[in-house]
Amino acid sequence: FPSNRLGSVARYLGVNTCGEHRALVDVLTTKALLEQMLIDLSEVGVSTLDHLVAAQGGPLGWPRRESIPLPPEIQEALTGDGRIWIRYLSAGGRETHREVTPLRVTVRGGYLYLVAVCHLRNEQRTFRLDRVLEMAPAV
C-alpha cells in the first residue's frame, strides 16, 4: 500500500469510508477491509485460518517478558507474606521511613513500582523502586 493508514488502505482497496478516526467508523472500515482482503486472498487459494497464518509467514508469538530481578528483601516478602522496612524519598524530596507488606511489582512508564500495604495508615500505596534508598526485613 502507498501508506498503511486506515483511510489510505481503504481507498486503495476501494472500501468506502466516512468520518475517519471515529471509533465506530474505524471499526466498520476495518471489518470491510478484512472482508475485502479475504475475498482477494480466496482468489489465490487462501480460505481458512490455517491458510491465513501460513500466508503471513507462520504464527506470531507474544513477545516474552523478561523476568525482573527483584531485591531479595522484596522477593522474600512476596513469597512469604512478610513485611519490609523502607527508607523512601518522595517525588517532592521528602524522606520517610515506612513498614510495608509488598503485594506486587509493576512496570509503568519505564519505572519499577512496588505496590504494598503501607502500615503507617494501613492503606495500599505505590512506591517507585528507584526512590527506595534503603530496605531491610521488618523486625
Q: Tens digit of pLDDT for each residue in 109-131?
A: 888 999 999 998 899 999 999 99
Q: What is the CA radius of gyration of the chain?
A: 26
114/123 Cα distance (integer angstroms): 14
**What's the Cα-to-Cα distance from 103 to each of 17, 85, 106, rounded to whole Å?**
48, 14, 10
55 band by pLDDT with thresholds 50, 70 and 90: confident
Q: Which of 16-30, 51-65, 75-89 tops mean pLDDT? A: 75-89
**What's the Cα-to-Cα distance from 67 to each of 70, 106, 115, rounded to whole Å?**
9, 11, 17
What is the per-residue pLDDT for 121?
Answer: 86
Nine cell digits for residue 11: 481507498
137/72 Cα distance (integer angstroms): 10
What is the per-residue pLDDT for 46?
Answer: 87
